[in-house]
Amino acid sequence: MGIFRSSFSFLTGTVFGVYLAQNYQVPNIKKLTETAKFMAEEIEEKYRKPRKQDGDDNNSV
């Protein structure tokens, strides 16, 4: 009986998801995450601290 109960929840969710995707303009999650990742990388490169050069440390004589 447990397999039917868990299958019912899964099938209901799948049918509801298909209905939403066909009748409403649902955003593409994969494209949205790729865009967010690209924007985060751009911001990181823009505000990253410059790396130290070999001769820039104060301990060298």
Select the more confidently predicted residue: 42 or 3.
42
Closest alpha carbon to 2 in 33, 15, 10: 10
Alpha-carbon distances of 48 from 2, 34, 37, 44, 45, rounded to whole Å = 53, 21, 16, 6, 5
pLDDT in tens, 7-55: 998 999 999 999 998 999 988 899 999 999 999 999 998 988 877 776 6
pLDDT of residue 57: 56
Query: What is the structure's pLDDT at 4?
Result: 81
What pLDDT does residue 59 have? Answer: 58
Domain spans, the chain: 8-47
Residues 42 and 36 sit within 8 Å (Cβ to Cβ): no
Specify the pLDDT at position 27: 85
